[in-house]
Amino acid sequence: MSGYKRVLLKLSGEALMGDDAYGINRATIEAMVQDIAEVVNSGVQLAMVIGGGNIFRGVAGGAVGMDRATADYMGMLATVMNSLALGDAMKNAGLNPRVMSAIAIDQVVESYVRPKALQYLEEGKSVIFAGGTGNPFFTTDTAAALRAAEIGAEVMLKATKVDGIYTADPAKDPTAERYARISFDDAIAQRLQVMDATAFALCREQKMPIRVFSIFKPGALMRVVQGEDEGTDVFV
């Protein structure tokens, strides 16, 4: 398989925590950016969506009993915080990121406008999409699937702590085997939790392949965008 030219990388907020209980671990984010820089400097057009679970976890106790829409808006703000942190780390690594938010915070980041995002990608800049979809009740997985479709990404990369999709939980079952490739239909039939149902359905409808891999495995991101046998390929 030849390499990809334009991809969308979905990161969980928890990926930024390192060994911390919540928040952002600077060493972890800097190590992650090293792999991102390698990909961007190779000429791949890279867009990203990051969750907010690591930030929201710190205030989760106070959110108990809160209206769902209000809690989701708080989560969107958490994704903006993570996007700013990631963008800052990328800038320090010599990259030229642009953070665009689905919710208007013009004094902090520019608002998401699709033609502008496409222009940035064509110019070789990386784009970090913050604020989810801008609507409550939708996850950042769904935001990632939506943005991937909007920018014409060739693949959606789902970065996790595990290096792919397994027949069982590899942490609990040492005999579990990694799928190199699996179809959307088989993933649904086997009830494999690739991502939330709305995001998964959108990717399937748009014939958007998903590659699940470990962001903590050095060099894995580059191997994925080069089309090598890394992680699990979910195809239509």
72 is known to lie in a ligand binding site: yes
137 is known to lie in a ligand binding site: yes
7: phi then psi, degrees, rounded to nearest 5? -135, 160
- Neighbour-count burial for 168-198, b at 16+ CB within 10 Å, e otherwise: eeeeeeeeeeebeebebeebeeeebebbeeb
9 is known to lie in a ligand binding site: no
70 is known to lie in a ligand binding site: no
3 is known to lie in a ligand binding site: no
- Tell the residue number behind the tokens 């990909």, with chain if given: 39
235 is known to lie in a ligand binding site: no
Residue 97: closest CA among 129, 132, 131, 127: 127
User: With contact defined as beta carbons under 8 Å apart, do 58 and 19 qualify?
Assistant: no
Q: Look up residue 117 and give its two tokens.
A: 């995002």
138 is known to lie in a ligand binding site: yes
28 is known to lie in a ligand binding site: no
116 is known to lie in a ligand binding site: no
The H or E element containing residue 49 is strand 45-50
169 is known to lie in a ligand binding site: yes
2 is known to lie in a ligand binding site: no
134 is known to lie in a ligand binding site: yes
82 is known to lie in a ligand binding site: no
160 is known to lie in a ligand binding site: yes
* Start-to-end Cα distance in the chain: 16
Residue 38, CA distances (Å) to 42, 123, 167, 200, 223 in order: 6, 17, 31, 28, 11
- Tell the residue number behind the tokens 């969308």, with chain if given: 8
Q: Supply the Cα-derived Rg of the chain in whole angstroms.
A: 17
232 is known to lie in a ligand binding site: no
Alpha-carbon dihedral of residues 187, 191, 193, 197, nearest 10 degrees? 90
Q: Which residues are annotated as a binding site?
A: 10-13, 52-53, 57, 72, 133-140, 160, 166, 169
Q: Which residues are annotated as a binding site for UMP?
A: 52, 72, 133-140
Q: Which residues are annotated as a binding site for ATP?
A: 10-13, 53, 57, 160, 166, 169
